[in-house]
Structure 1
């Protein structure tokens, strides 16, 4: 497969948050019948077995969202939970479980 040596590059800042989400997801099709709300800003809604489930996760990356040089782990854990709880609340759902994603350097 040949690589295009002069691709058209658009800076992410030109899209903005919602424009980037739209650009990344506009060619996805969802064939699963249990998917009610797919990729979006806050959360997805799936309905396996007639029980709606709202799922979300936000990755916190060291050097972008936090700095371990001055952020205590207790505060980082709190932030990781709260940002996802806000997504669940935005979908008018009640949180029951937590899924946390962190990207931390090897130091």
Structure 2
């Protein structure tokens, strides 16, 4: 899935040990595929920190979780959605009619 998503320049959120292992295989087959991998959180599973380090990705959250079921990904989607909203919808000072003279 990661390789297919990367081919279409679509980001993939990985969550924990199993999807991290898939991302490692994808990177081994196509090193640039990791450019489209977003690590949701740092799992408490032994070895997960080694995985994300090897992948070269920084997990968004570190909440000492080992719950499974994509819990970290579910939490990170809110942050990803908010980030996209800021990038796409936040007005510049000029657009909002704000003067920057008082900021200096």
TM range (shorter): under 0.3
Question: TM-score of the superposition, structure 1-length normalised?
Answer: 0.24
The structure where helix makes up a greater share of residues is: 2
The structure where strand makes up a greater share of residues is: 1
Question: TM-score of the superposition, structure 2-length normalised?
Answer: 0.24
